[in-house]
Amino acid sequence: MLLWAGLGNPEPAMARQRHNIGFMAVDRIARRHGFGPWRQRFRGLAAEGLVGGERVTALKPLTYMNDSGHSVQPAAAFFKLPPEAITAFHDELDLAPGKMRVKRGGGAAGHNGLRSMDRALGTPDYWRVRLGIGHPGERARVLGWVLGDFAKVDAAWLDALLDAVADAAPMLAQNKPEDFMNRVSILTQDPA
């Protein structure tokens, strides 16, 4: 059993914000792999399905980004999951738009959703799928950037990234993070 938490904010007006790329990723995975319907559970929306032969619960916390851990922790406790069975899908300022990296553990790097998860779980030793949204260039512009909607020009790379993450998800479910990263990289290469 795996718990894949997409981090984001629940307001409908926030659905296209860069900060919600984690919600977008788990939505695409759930749709691609035929998960059951989203239901209210664990102070969030949860859907269950099989990915690569592994049972996965996808979770979208409705607690807002800064309190993501208040949804993830009850789900992890209910399923009695160790940290290595939990993956957070989240926006990453330090990666170029359309790039993705996977790592286990580490610091929150200023990301309030990860900080909340660290506190609630009592450990930072879970997996993170870091989805690049790029940096606006100046620290003072970060808040407006992450809470801003993706531009129309972002649609091509965003859809390609989300499709690649969904297509390669079986490798992640089978604990093959390097293969997952490589497959996403291949699927998102510019054909030029």
Average pLDDT of the chain to the nearest whole number = 96
Q: How confident is the model at residue 191 (pLDDT cuts 50, 70, 90)?
A: low
* 192 is a domain residue: no
Q: Do 72 and 86 meet the contact criterion of CB atoms below 8 Å apart?
A: yes
Query: Has residue 113 got a pLDDT over 90?
Result: yes
* 34 is a domain residue: yes
User: Does the annotation mark 19 as catalytic?
Assistant: yes
Domain residues for 53?
A: 2-187
Residue-wise pLDDT for 82-102, tens only, equals 999 999 999 999 999 999 999
The separation between CA 105 and the C-alpha centre of its own chain, rounded to angstroms, equals: 15
* 109 is a domain residue: yes
Identified catalytic residue from 19, 33, 70, 90: 19
Q: Which CATH number fits the domain that encloses residue 109? A: 3.40.50.1470
* 15 is a domain residue: yes
Q: Do 69 and 116 meet the contact criterion of CB atoms below 8 Å apart?
A: yes
Q: What is the pTM for the complete model shown?
A: 0.96
Nearest to 158 by CA among 93, 100, 79: 100
* 26 is a domain residue: yes
* 143 is a domain residue: yes
Residue-wise pLDDT for 9-53, tens only, equals 999 999 999 999 999 999 999 999 999 999 999 999 999 999 999
Please give the tally of structural domains in the chain: 1
